[in-house]
Amino acid sequence: MIRRCASWTILCTVMAVAPAANAGEAPKIAWKVEKGAALAFNVKRQSATQGQSPRGEFKVNTSSEIQYRVEVADRKDNGDLVLKVTYASVKAKSEGREGAWEFDSAKKEGKDDVTAYLQDATAKTIEVKLAGGKIADIAGFPEIQRGGEGDRGNFRRFQGLRVAGRNALQNDLELILSTAVLGQALEKDKVYIRSREARGAGEEGARQRGRGMFDRGEARAAYRYEGDEKVGDAAAAKFSFASAPPEKTEEGGARQELNTKAKGSALVSQKDGLLLKLELSSEGESSFERDGQTSKFSRQSKVEIAREPAKKEAEKKPPAVSL
C-alpha cells in the first residue's frame, strides 16, 4: 500500500523491447525496470452515456484528470514487479439523472461519504503486484461506506469508485504498462487484443468483472502494430486502435452484449516498454439483462494518456548552498 510522498523525482527507467533471440526474429516488448525507478503519467477521460433502464431514460456525462506517480518498489529474479502508486492530483465531475457531482483532491471541503472516501483513497499509497506480465493484485484502497442516501447516494458511490477504485486503477495501468502487447512478437499490421479477465475483489469486483462498458468508459480495443517512430530522440513502437470483436458475457445470472467501435493511436517506448502517449476514442452499444429486466446503453468515450518527461540530472540535484 502506498503513503503519499511529499515529493517525487522522476528517475530513469530501464525497460526495453527485448532483442531478438535470433537474427530476423520479431522483437518483443519486455519489462526490465529497475527497483527504485519512478515515473509520472497524466490520464484524462471523458464519457457520455445515455440509455434506458427499468427506472427510465437517463444521461450521464463524466470527466476526470488524474496524475499518477509510479515507483518500482521491488523486482523479483523472474521479472515480476511490485509497484507503489500514488495520486498526485485528481479532478473529476459528473452530471446525470441523480444530479451533479464534483471532486478535486486539492480541495478539502465536502463531508459526504464519497468525498471522504476519495480524499482517503487519493492520499494513500496503493501496492500493485505484477506477475507473469499481468496485474496480479491491487491493495490499499479503503472500503467505501454505504449510507442511506438512496439512488443519489448509490450513483455518487459508483462515480467515486470509477475515479479511484481497484478496477479504475487497473484499467489505467493496463494501458500504461502496455499489457496488451507485452511479450508479443511485433509484426507490422498484426492485431493484438487485451484479454478481459476477472478483476478486483469484494463488492466492486463482483459488480464490474467482465462487464465491458460498465467498468470505466471504454471497451476493449485492438492494437494494430504500425511500425517504429521517433519521439524526440526516443524510439517508439507505434500502434493504431481498431474495434475488437463483439462481446457476450454471462455471470451471476446476468447477461451482457457489447458492440463497440474504437480509433486512436499509442506510442510505446522501445527503451523501457512503457507507454509514452495514447489517444483512444470509442463508441458502442450495450444491453444488460438480469432477472428478466433489460437495460440498454450507448456510450462515447475518450482517454488520453501522456508520460511526463524524466527530469534532467541538473534538475534533480539540490541547489548549492553558499557559506
Pairing of strands 134-139, 56-75: unpaired
**Inside any domain, residue 114:** yes
For cell 522483437, what's the residue? 27
Q: Are 172 and 218 in contact (CB under 8 A)?
A: no
**Inside any domain, residue 218:** yes
**Inside any domain, residue 3:** no
Q: Which domain holds residue 71?
A: 13-313
Nearest-angstrom CA–CA distance, 265 and 152: 37
Element (H, E) at 113: helix 113-121
**Inside any domain, residue 6:** no
Identify any residues that bridge with 54 across adjacent strands, giving them in sequence order: none
**Inside any domain, residue 319:** no
**Inside any domain, residue 34:** yes
**Inside any domain, residue 318:** no
Q: Are 68 and 77 in contact (CB under 8 A)?
A: no
Note the Cα 27 to chain centre separation in Å.
25
Which CATH number covers residue 18? Answer: 2.30.230
**Inside any domain, residue 153:** yes
The number of domains in the chain is 1
pTM above 0.95, yes or no: no
Q: Per residue of the chain (323 residues), what is the pLDDT tens digit? A: 444 343 333 333 333 444 444 555 677 888 878 899 999 999 999 999 898 877 788 888 999 999 999 999 999 988 889 999 999 999 999 888 777 888 999 987 666 778 888 999 999 999 999 998 889 999 999 887 665 554 555 666 777 888 999 999 999 999 999 999 998 889 999 999 876 553 443 344 444 443 444 444 455 679 999 999 988 888 899 999 988 777 777 766 666 677 788 999 999 988 888 999 999 999 888 887 878 888 888 889 999 999 998 665 444 455 555 44
